[in-house]
Amino acid sequence: ENKREVLASWNNSSPLCSWTGVTCGHKQERVISLDVGGFKLAGAISPSIGNLSFLRSLNLADNSFGSTIPQEVGMLFRLQYLNMSFNLLQGRVPRSLSNCSRLSTLDLSSNGLEHSVPSELGSLSKLSILYLNSNNLTGKFPASFGNLTSLLKLDFAYNHIEGEIPEDVARLTQMVFFQISQNSFSGVFPPALHNISSLESLSLGGNSFSGELRADFGDHLPNLRTLLLGSNHFTGAIPRTLANMTTLGRFDISSNNLTGSIPLSFGNLPNLRWLGIGVNSLGTNSFRDLEFIGALTNCTRLEFLDAGYNRLRGELPASTANLSTKLTSLTLGENLISGTIPHDIGNLISLQALSLETNMLTGELPVSFGKLLEMQVLDLYSNAISGELPSYFDNMTQLQKIHLNSNSFQGRIPRSLGRCRNLLDLWIDTNRLNGTIPQEILQIPSLAYLDLSNNLLTGPFPEEVGKLELLVGLGASNNRLSGQIPQTLGDCLSVEFLYLQGNSFDGAIPDISRLVSLANVDFSSNNLSGRIPLYLANLPLLRNLNLSMNNFEGRVPTKGVFRNATSVYVFGNKNLCGGIREMQLKPCIVHATPRPRKPLSLRKKIASGVGIGLALLLLFIIVAALCWFKKRRNKKKNNATGSNPSDSTTLGMFYEK
C-alpha cells in the first residue's frame, strides 16, 4: 500500500473505525490502535494525538515523520506499545512519556533524537523493551533505569552516551538483551553485569572500556549466546573460564590490547559459530601459538574465525584443514606464521574468504584449492609462496578478489583467470611472472583493479584493455612491455589510477582525454615521444602526473595540474621547453615568420610604371642641363680674366661627382 491508497479511506464519508490502520474497541468504538507503519507518511506528528485517550498501541514506524515528538503523547495513559522508529524525528525524548505508566514497549530507534535520555523514564515499571539506538543521544546512562525491573531488552547502540554503567543496572535481573555498542562509555567492564545471569546477548563493542576481564568471567554469565566486546581498550589475557559458557555462539573481542595465548578451552564450546580475536597482541612468541586451531576442530558449527593481526608464531598446522566444513571465513593474516598451506585445505568446502596475508608461508598452492568453489576472497599477499599460478581458477567462478602479490610466483599468467567473471581485484604484482599478458584477463567485465607491476612480462599491452569499462586502477609498471600504449585505453572511462612506468613503451600518449576521473598517472621511464597533450591540463581530478625519463618534446602546458611543480614530473626529456618557472625548463624559441608580399594589382602596376618613367625623364633633363652649363662655363673661361680658381674646382668637383 502507498500513501495515496492509505489516505483514500480517511474521509468523513466512511466510519472512523473502518479507516486503514485504525482499530476500535468493540464496546465503545473508541480508537485503541493506530498502525500506519511503513505507509510512507511524512510531516509532523500532530499534538492532537494526545486526544486518543483510549489508545493502547501506536505504530508510526518506517515513515518520514519529522520535527519533534509532541509532549501530548504523554497524555496517552492507556498506551502499552509505542513505536516511532525509522523516521526523521529530532529534539528530545519527551519526559512526559513517563506518564504512560502502562507502557511495555518503547521504540524510538533510528531517528535523530538528541540530548540526554530523561531519567524520568525510570518510573515505567512495566517497560520490558526499550530501544533508543541509532540516534544522537548524549549524556550518561540514567541510574534510575535500575528501577526498570521488568526490562528484558535494552538497546542504546549508536549514540554518543558516555561515562560508566551505574551499579543500579545490577537490579535488572530479568534482562536477556543488553546492547550499548558504538557509544563513548568508559571504565572497566561493568561489574553490575556479572550479576545478571539471565543475559543471553551482551554487546559493549565500540566504546572505551578498559582494564582486564575477570578470570571468573565465564562463571557468572552461563546463558550468554552472544558476547561482543570488540573495539575497546581491554588488556590482559582472554579468560579461560569462557569455556563454561557452553551456550556461547558468537564471541568477538577483536581490536583490543589483549596479550597471552589463545585458550585451548575454546574447543569446549560446542555451539561456537563466530570467533573474533583479531587485531590484538595475542601470542607468546612460541611455536605453540597455533595449537588453538587444533582445539577448534571440535567446534563443528564454526563459521567464522578471525585471529589476524596478532603475534602468533609457528607453522600453520595441518589441522587447519580439519576445521568445520561450515567455515566460511578464515583470517590468520598479519602474524608470524610459517610453513605451507595444508594440502587438504580443499576440505573446507564452504570457505568464501581465506586471508593469510603478510606471513612467512612458503611452498606452492595446493591442488585441493580447486575444490573451494564458494571462494570469493583469496588473500595471500606478502608471503614467500612459489610455483606457477594454478590453472584451476576456472572452477572458482565466485572469486571476487585475488591478492597473490608480493610472493615468488613464476611462469605465465594462466588464461583460465579470464573465466572468473565476477572478479573485482586481480593483484599479482611483485612476483616473477613472465610471458605476455593474456587478453582473457582483460575481458572480465567486472574487473575494477588490475595490478601486474614488478614482474617480467613482455610483449605489447593487449588492446582488449578497452573492454574494462569498470576499471578503476591499472598497474603494469616495471615490466618489459613494449610497443605503443593501446589507444583503446581511452575507453576505460572509470580509471582513476594509471601506472605504466618502467617499461619500453614507445610512440605518443594515446588519447585519454575522456578519462575525466584520472587522479594519478605515471608514464615515466619509457620511450614515449611526441608532444605532451594539452588535454591533460583539462582533466579536472588529475593530481599527480609523471612523464619523466622519456623523449617528449615541445612546450609544457601551464594550466591545470601543470600549475603545480610538485604534482608534475617532466625531467629527463631534453627537448621540452616552457612550463611554469619552477620546472626550470629552457624557454621555447619563437621564430618570426616573414610576412608574404601581396601581388600588385593592375592599377598599382601602371602607376608604378608611370612613376619610374617620369623619374628617368627628370634625370635625363638634369644631366642634359648640367652638360650645357659646363660647356657654357668653359667658353666664358677662355674670354674672361682675374677669376678665382678655387670656386670652379670646388663646384666642378661636386658636379663631376
521 domain-assigned: no
- Segment 362-387 shows an average pLDDT of 98
- Residue 7: the pLDDT is 75
Report the percent of the chain where pLDDT is more than 70.
89
What does the block give as the cell for 89? 524525528
Task: Note every long-range contact of 480-483, with CB atoms under 8 Å and residues 24 or more positions apart, other chains counting.
Answer: 480/456, 480/504, 481/437, 481/457, 481/505, 482/458, 482/506, 483/459, 483/507
- Segment 205-231 shows an average pLDDT of 97
636 Cβ contact list (under 8 Å, min separation 6)? none
Element (H, E) at 99: none
- Segment 1-17 shows an average pLDDT of 77
366 domain-assigned: yes
**Domain limits for position 281:** 259-385
What does the block give as the cell for 370? 580447486
297 domain-assigned: yes
- Segment 358-382 shows an average pLDDT of 97
Residue 91 · residue 68 · CB < 8 Å: yes
Map 524-540 to HEC letters.
CCCEEEEECCHHHHHCC
- What angle do the packed helices 645-656 and 602-639 form, to 10 degrees? 160
- Reported as a single tens digit per residue, the pLDDT across 28-74 is 789 999 999 999 999 999 999 999 999 999 999 999 999 999 999 99
Write down the H helix ranges in 225-363: 291-295
Residue 623 vs residue 177, higher pLDDT: 177
219: exposed, middle or buried (Cβ count in 10 Å: 0-12, 13-18, 19+): middle
- Reported as a single tens digit per residue, the pLDDT across 448-504 is 999 999 999 999 999 999 999 999 999 999 999 999 999 999 999 999 999 999 999
Nearest to residue 199, comparing CAs of 189, 184, 209, 208?
189
Element (H, E) at 136: strand 136-138
pLDDT > 90? residue 6: no
3-state secondary structure of 618: helix
pLDDT > 70? residue 650: no
User: What gap in Å lies between CA 270 and CA 275, rounded to an integer?
Assistant: 12
pLDDT > 90? residue 577: yes
199 domain-assigned: no
- Residue 594: the pLDDT is 55
Read off the pLDDT band of 2 (50, 70, 90). low
Q: Which of 137-146, 528-537, 615-624 has the lowest mean pLDDT?
A: 615-624
481: exposed, middle or buried (Cβ count in 10 Å: 0-12, 13-18, 19+): buried
- Residue 608: the pLDDT is 52
- Residue 8: the pLDDT is 80
Average pLDDT score over the chain: 91
198 domain-assigned: no
- Residue 621: the pLDDT is 47
pLDDT > 70? residue 632: no
- Residue 599: the pLDDT is 53
- Residue 394: the pLDDT is 87
288 domain-assigned: yes
CATH number for the domain harbouring residue 265: 3.80.10.10
Residue 80 · residue 54 · CB < 8 Å: no
Read off the pLDDT band of 613 (50, 70, 90). low
34 domain-assigned: no
Read off the pLDDT band of 14 (50, 70, 90). confident
- Residue 29: the pLDDT is 84
604: exposed, middle or buried (Cβ count in 10 Å: 0-12, 13-18, 19+): exposed
3-state secondary structure of 315: strand
Query: How many domains, in total, are found in the chain?
Result: 1
Q: Which of 114-118, 120-124, 254-258, 622-626 has the lowest mean pLDDT?
A: 622-626
133 domain-assigned: no
* Alpha carbon 5 to chain centroid, angstroms: 41
- Residue 205: the pLDDT is 98
Residue 134 · residue 157 · CB < 8 Å: yes
